[in-house]
Amino acid sequence: MNFIGKFLGALIGFRLGGFFGMLAGVFLGHLADKKLYELGTVNSSFFKTKTTRQLLFMQTTFAVLGHLSKAKGRVTENDILLATHLMDQMQLDDAGRRLAQEAFNRGKQTDFPIRQVIREFRLGCGQRADLLRAFLSVQIQAAFSDDHLHDNEKDVLFIVAEELGLSRVQFEQMLAMEMAARHFARGGFYQQGGYYEQHSGSQGGYQQQSQSSSGPTLNDAYQVLGVSATDDQPTVKRAYRRLMNENHPDKLVAKGLPPEMMEMAKEKTQQIQAAYDLICKAKGWK
């Protein structure tokens, strides 16, 4: 964790302005530490170069996508279209697309060292739990893109989750949350006038939706928030606020999420908001 800026800020601030100067110095030092973290480089023995956290996130994302595609037995045209669609959604330039394609192809290799790659990624991200969960969320969404989770895909996803520090119970809960969130994405919920209405069309991120849905259920909403029907309003509200904070696009970008993936993070918060609104409406909460 960066602290040099805060330490120097406190020291200089105290010498110049006493106690209040120290507080101002700590605040300015915190901003400096944050910027240094964003601009800092990390080492990757797999990608063979020093890179930024945001580039490491992008390359690792596509490498694991390639590994997931191969886990089913062979990489299909739909797998390639999925990766290409994500590149388009991220609006990668030519250099970025080359890096993504190279990472995807390396992930398809039988000797792809997935545990090593995820360990380096975890360290490169400073072991920030919200950023790591955002990464896993992308991979789960990709695995569900064909509306079926292959056993081998699930095994790969658990390896990723395990190396990111999640238990089996946490992993299974996250799978259930993502499956429920797909119903909100498929239902095309959007905010209007302070509530959510269903509208035709798809807002399923980079997933290719090929079938219609009757829309999310109240049970889906509970699973999106990771709560149960018997939980009281304070418990549900705490879960909602925690998830909104963990998935806040600006905060994730500051911690290493590529800015090009901000739209995906926004869609995630929209799903969380829609789930919370549905529960409140059903319960009569204000």
Q: Are residues 67 and 152 in the same domain?
A: yes
More confident residue, 228 or 54: 228
Query: Of 166, 197, 231, which residue sits at a domain end?
Result: 166
Residues 51 and 155 in one domain: yes
Average pLDDT over residues 29-35: 51
Both 156 and 44 in one domain: the answer is yes
For residue 99, being part of any structural domain is answered with yes
By residue count, the chain amounts to 286
Tokens at residue 32, please? Answer: 């400096």
Give the list of residues 6+ apart from residue 141 with CB closer than 8 angstroms, or none: 178, 182, 205, 206, 207
Residues 6+ apart with CB under 8 A from 11: 25
Total count of domains within the chain? 2
- Between 13 and 58, the more confident residue is 58
DSSP state of 284: T
- Mean residue pLDDT across the chain: 76
Asked whether residue 150 falls in the same domain as residue 57, the answer is: yes
Q: Are residues 58 and 144 in the same domain?
A: yes
Residue % of the chain over a pLDDT of 70: 72
pLDDT class of 4 with cuts at 50, 70, 90: very low
Region of poorest pLDDT, from 57-66, 82-91, 186-195: 186-195
- Are 57 and 153 within one domain? yes
CA nearest to 157, candidates 75, 225, 67, 81: 67
Residue 81 inside a domain? The answer is: yes
pLDDT exceeds cutoff 90 at 10: no
Quick check: 213 pLDDT over 70? no
Average pLDDT over residues 201-205: 35
Please report whether residue 26 resides in a domain.
Answer: no
Report yes or no on 212 lying in a domain. Answer: no
Task: Give me 25's structure tokens.
Answer: 């110095």
Most confident of 66-70, 176-180, 192-196, 263-267: 66-70
Examine residue 200 and state whether it is found in any structural domain, yes or no.
no
Quote the radius of gyration of the chain (alpha carbons, Å): 21
pLDDT of residue 196: 35
Among 166, 181, 207, where does a domain finish?
A: 166
Among 149, 166, 183, which residue terminates a domain? 166
Give the per-residue pLDDT at 105.
Answer: 94
Q: Pick from 11-20, 100-109, 128-137, 262-271 the range whose average pLDDT is largest.
A: 100-109
Q: 248 in a domain, yes or no?
A: yes
Residues 211-228, mean pLDDT to the nearest whole number: 76
**162 shares a domain with 44:** yes
Residue 159 has a pLDDT of 95
Tell me: do 141 and 241 sit in the same domain.
no
154, 49: one domain: yes
Give the range of the structural domain holding residue 249, as residue numbers without chain letter. 218-283
Question: Are residues 146 and 258 both part of a single domain?
Answer: no
Chain segment 120-143, per-residue pLDDT in tens: 888 887 767 877 888 888 888 888
Establish if 232 belongs to a structural domain. yes
H, E, C per residue of 169-213: HHHHHHHHHHHHHHHHHHHCEEEECCEEEECCCCCCCCCCCCCCC
148 in the same domain as 252: no
Q: By three-state DSSP, how is residue 52 classified?
A: strand
pLDDT band for 28, please (50, 70, 90 cuts): low
Q: What share of the chain is helix, strand, coil (3-state, %, to 5)?
A: 70, 5, 25
Residue 254: which CATH number? Answer: 1.10.287.110
Residues 253 and 152 in one domain: no
pLDDT tens digits for range 232-284: 999 999 999 988 888 887 777 776 676 766 777 787 888 888 888 989 988 88
**Residue 271: per-residue pLDDT:** 84
Is a pLDDT exceeding 70 seen at residue 201? Answer: no
